[in-house]
Amino acid sequence: MRTIRIVTVVLLALLALAACGGGDVTVPPPPNAQPFESSGSPKVDQIIASWRSVAIEEMKKDAVKEETLVEEIFIIKDGSLADVQNHYMALTQNGWWHVQRMPGLQGDVLLDGYEHGTTALVIGAIDASKFNGKGIVVYTLRGTK
């Protein structure tokens, strides 16, 4: 009898979760982030432009629906790439899975990815100060399969 109650409670919990659309898939911007206009470095601005085209194409190849894509670019004046990495790693506390096939933090660049159900998120961040610019530029692209 107890087993039946446990199974019933678990099934009801799963149905309730499915009815509300699953977990929270919002992605807050990094602390102290401001909208990106320019890093002051033509090289960094060129890298960001490249990420924009490559990321969208890769998401489409991964069956992410184009109409669901949300692209955001921020600049952080104070902080480090490790701070950005830790900010996005905290998403795993809200049901996101860290994608292992991404290179992560390597030198002056962070390339990372997360998934939550059918939602995919890619993050690119670069320390513009290493390229005669200012701040940390963060690029994100999120979409649903």
| Residue 45 forms part of a structural domain | yes
Q: How many CA atoms lie within 13 A of 24 on its CB side?
A: 7
**How many structural domains does the chain have?**
1
Q: What is the domain range of residue 121?
A: 23-144
In a domain, 10, yes or no: no
What's the pLDDT score for residue 20?
42
Tokens of 77: 């004046």
75 alpha carbon, distance to own chain's centre: 15
Asked if residue 1 is part of any domain, the answer here is no
Is 14 within a domain?
Answer: no
The answer to the question of residue 13 being in a domain is: no
pLDDT in tens, 15-74: 333 434 456 678 988 989 999 988 889 999 999 999 999 999 999 999 999 999 999 999
pLDDT band at 96 (very low <50, low <70, confident <90, very high): very high
Q: Would you say 82 and 140 are in contact if contact means Cβ atoms under 8 Å apart?
A: no
Residue 2 lies in a domain: no
pLDDT mean over 113-135: 94
Is 99 domain-assigned? yes
pLDDT score of 1 more than 50: yes
CB atoms within 10 A of CB 121: 21
Q: Is residue 66 part of a domain?
A: yes
Task: State the residue for tokens 């961040």.
Answer: 125
Q: What is the pTM for the complete model shown?
A: 0.81
For the stretch 80-112, what's the b/e string if a residue is b when 16 or more beta carbons lie within 10 angstroms of its beta carbon? ebeebbebbeebeeeebeeeeeeeebeeeebbb
